[in-house]
Amino acid sequence: MKSPKQVTAVETWEMMQCCRDILGATQMQKIFSRGQSQINRYCSSPIHEDHQRNPLDRLHLLFSMLDEEGERELVIAALNHLGSAIGHRVQSTRKYEPDKNTVEEECLDDYPEKVELDRLIAISAAPELVRRQGEHTCREIMETVTSYEEHFLKK
């Protein structure tokens, strides 16, 4: 295993440049089924007239549009698929925001998610579906915990 390099790329075109430097242009051509010129366009700064939107930018646009359409779970599933290549999963960085008015309502909101988790397990659903539902159930439970903490502090 190679020692990890310090990655200083910030913009997606810089990330693509790093990929090309590490894997080589030929490997990038094979991965994307594109010629050398197109790979170079992906790796060029937007200030160059030859620049084109690279696959990372295209995925970002796709995920943003899906989220705007209310398909966040689909985006999370796709991101988890991508992250599985390196043994990672997506985790929300947002504070858990209760979506009910009382702790009791939050508690009731947890129940259907747990029932769905148990149902998926009972029917031997794909492990990825069970994991996704488990993560969704955990998010719902954390909303309840946050609601309780806020309620407790008001006492």
Say how far apart CA 10 and CA 22 lie, in whole Å.
16
pLDDT tens digits, one per residue of 64-106: 999 999 999 999 999 999 999 999 999 877 788 999 999 999 9
pLDDT tens digits, one per residue of 22-69: 999 999 999 999 999 999 999 998 888 778 899 999 999 999 999 999
Question: For the residues of the chain, what is the DSSP string, one character each?
Answer: -PPPPPP---SHHHHHHHHHHHH-HHHHHHHHT--HHHHHHHTS-TTSTT----HHHHHHHHHHHHHHTT-HHHHHHHHHHHHGGGT------SPP---SSSHHHHHHHHHHHHHHHHHHHHTT--HHHHHHHHHHHHHHHHHHHHHHHHHHHH-
Taking alpha carbons only, the member of 147, 138, 89 closest to residue 114 is 138
pLDDT at 144: 95
Say how far apart CA 48 and CA 44 lie, in whole Å.
7
Share of the chain above pLDDT 90, in %: 82
Q: What is the CA radius of gyration of the chain?
A: 21
pLDDT tens digits, one per residue of 101-127: 999 999 999 999 999 999 999 999 999
Token pair belonging to 89: 């999963």
Domain ranges in the chain are 9-52, 55-90, 103-154
